[in-house]
Structure 1
């Protein structure tokens, strides 16, 4: 790809470290990058008025909003207070995420997972990777408990690293975190990794697919703000400082900066559909 000149940004975008600003950056910039994934799943499972859908880790709720636009009854669980508030501004029912508690069963306000969920659903989606410290198998087991017999759980992950141009940009997070550790966004990308999470849950594989999700930004600052809103760079910022992380991230974005100032990276995501037998 053609490169444009370096803009010389040496500090994180304004407000990048504040929870409210970062949540807005996610909702206004980054979340839309995953719309092709959301729509592919909704099309594949014919989401509509007969669907009751629960989004685990739904963030600011765009996937739920799209499903509601198809007539589905939707609800969500989200741990982040600011993201949850933005989802509620979209008039979505989103409660605290029970997966963040030490035992994985109690929400931040003291209710049990069953009390938060209130009922079972025909479709439970896990579009986001589990939060740091959470065990993916426990997340999937929790999703299995919340889906109706004959219903489906959808898991999603990045596709093969070699097919994701954002891989080099995401590597900044792990390199700058050093010994403090940063989550590997491609942990669940290898063949069979998502399927292995179904062991012992009572769910069985029922299809899946790959979806192109290009990351496209109006300019370099938007790219920085959007990527920093994902949370993948938190450990790096704590270890190396947000200004240095932003500088390294800007340099990593240069190959994807176009002459008109926009930034674009092609990526592939994969999803797995699991069914709970009747």
Structure 2
């Protein structure tokens, strides 16, 4: 499937503006798991692949799954192995599976490829009162999702992930690339989001949105 021009523009805004906002979350998870040489990491809904690049920079062998063609194309431009669906179990299973904003069906399909005792990381928005992004969804029940998938709990954590933008235009473009907003009328969506962001503008024109994200680590049985 060839990405539409609109989808490609939105994907590029994600890759160029928004994706880096989650680096503190990615790094906190990799630090905690001590991801490094010899580890095999599978990233679900990996977007344009920044989380995979960070793991690869630590020496891990990485594979991603991204169902949106425009984002998958950008990840492949970064010379990453990114699939459209969960891979079939291989001779050597994965050591770490990450699902930043987990989708139960995709998670279930991917678990067969993780070694026994391997780490499964689920992450999502933190408490609503600790997130300032307009329209941020209620946090997923990560503990319930892990239990429902038959995983053994092995810890959790919270990470401060502020969304900072040089100006209001960048903030609007970055946030609209997240998929949180209805884009059937892009001009109206931009106008409404810009109005909601005005309280977060600083004197120099930059926009600052403090947020907390939460992650759960579980183990396969």
**Both proteins in one fold, TM over 0.5:** yes
The whole-number CA distance in structure 2 between the counterparts of 1:127 and 1:71 is 21
List 4+ stretches of structure 1 deviating above 4 A. none
The whole-number CA distance in structure 2 between the counterparts of 1:36 and 1:21 is 25
Give 1:128's aligned residue.
Answer: 101
More strand by share: 2
1:45 aligns with 2:33: yes
The whole-number CA distance in structure 2 between the counterparts of 1:256 and 1:248 is 14
Structure 2 gap ranges (5+): none
Give 1:170's aligned residue.
Answer: 135
The whole-number CA distance in structure 1 between the counterparts of 2:42 and 2:34 is 15
Match of 2:144 among 167, 172, 196: 196
Q: 1:23-34, aligned counterparts within 5 Å?
A: 23-34=11-22
1:246 aligns with 2:190: yes
Q: CA deviation digits over 1:243-277, x for unaligned, max 9? A: 22211100100011111010001000000001013
Over the aligned positions, Cα root-mean-square deviation in angstroms equals 1.7
The whole-number CA distance in structure 2 between the counterparts of 1:91 and 1:213 is 27
Structure showing greater radius of gyration is 1
Q: 1:1-278, aligned counterparts within 5 Å?
A: 18-98=6-86, 113-114=87-88, 120-130=93-103, 136=104, 138-166=105-133, 169-170=134-135, 185-188=137-140, 193-233=141-181, 236-238=182-184, 241-277=185-221
Q: Under a length normalisation based on structure 1, what TM-score does the superposition of the two structures give?
A: 0.74
How far did residue 141 of structure 1 move?
2.0
Q: Under a length normalisation based on structure 2, what TM-score does the superposition of the two structures give?
A: 0.92
The whole-number CA distance in structure 2 between the counterparts of 1:221 and 1:142 is 38
